[in-house]
């Protein structure tokens, strides 16, 4: 059983015919070719699949693609503007906020969502918000440092 859905991803509208059981993550990766979001645990725990649905961060591995019908999705591919990285991405680069990189798209999207909701978070607020994004290389200090640096940027959009 399939369904025709229309979702807006990173500002572009897409019409897709999906099986009803398609997860949003698989729709993004397989139907739309946006492979930035990763599947880690597949049960909503690890955060590698973090995307924004109408601006709110969710686990796309346990969301159905049909949930996004008529809604807006933001993925890691939508953060940079042309060649200019999003300040959160730039801060992760500058502070070395990643090691192997598999969790990084989820970390970056979660960090962007945090700064959208709370432009100057305390370290405790950063830790509490980010606790659902696991880094099995355990690069947490650099990740927190990156987010702190991004928050300190005066020109952040």
Partner 1 sequence: MNAFDYRAPRRLDEALALLQEHGPDARVVAGGTALVTMMRQRLVRPACLVSLRDVEGLDRIEATNGAIRLGALVTHRAVEVSPLIRERLPVLAETFRRVGTVRIRHMATVGGALAHADPNQDPPVTLLALDATVEIRRASGRRELPLREFFRDYYETVLEPGELVTAVTVPLLPAASGASFVKFLPRTADDYATVAVAAIVTLEPDGQRCHQARIALGSVGMTPLRARAAEAALVGQRLDEGVLRAAGAAAKTEVDPLSDHRGSAAYKREMVSVMVGRALTQAAAAARQMARGAR
Q: In the complex, which residues of this chain contact partner 1 (CB under 8 A)?
A: 1, 3, 19-21, 23, 42-45, 47, 50, 53, 56-59, 61-64, 66-67, 69, 110, 113, 128-129, 131-132
| Residue nearer to partner 1 on the CB measure, 138 or 155 | 138
Give me the least distance between CB of 137 and partner 1, in Å please.
Answer: 17
Nearer to partner 1 by Cβ, of 10 and 133: the residue is 133
35 vs 118 by CB, closer to partner 1: 118
- b/e 66-95 (16+ beta carbons within 10 angstroms → b): bbbeeebbbbbbbbeeeeeebbbbbbbeeb
Residue 4's beta-bridge partner residues?
A: 17
**The CA-based dihedral angle spanning residues 66, 68, 69, 75, taken in that order and rounded to the nearest 10 degrees:** -120
Q: Which is nearer to partner 1, 20 or 35 (CB)?
A: 20
Rounded Cα distance, 5 and 16, in Å: 5
Least Cβ distance, residue 82 to partner 1 (angstroms): 29
Query: The tokens 């019908």 sit on which residue?
Result: 69
* CB-count burial class (<10 Å; 0-12, 13-18, 19+) for 141: exposed
CB of 66 vs partner 1, minimal distance in Å:
5
Q: How far is the CB of 13 from partner 1 (least distance, A)?
A: 18
């Amino acid at each position: 059983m399939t369904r025709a859905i229309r979702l807006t991803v990173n500002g572009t509208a897409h019409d897709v015919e999906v099986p009803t059981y398609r997860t949003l993550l698989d729709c993004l990766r397989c139907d739309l070719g946006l492979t930035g979001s990763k599947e880690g645990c597949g049960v909503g725990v690890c955060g590698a699949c973090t995307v924004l649905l109408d601006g709110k961060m969710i686990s796309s591995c346990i969301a159905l693609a049909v949930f996004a019908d008529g809604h807006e999705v933001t993925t890691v591919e939508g953060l940079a503007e042309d060649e200019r990285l999003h300040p959160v991405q730039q801060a992760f680069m500058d502070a070395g906020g990643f090691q192997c990189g598999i969790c990084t798209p989820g970390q970056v999207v979660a960090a962007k969502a945090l700064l959208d909701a709370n432009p100057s978070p305390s370290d405790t607020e950063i830790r509490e918000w980010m606790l659902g994004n696991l880094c099995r290389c355990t690069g947490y200090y650099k990740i927190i440092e990156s987010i702190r640096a991004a928050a300190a940027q005066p020109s952040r959009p």
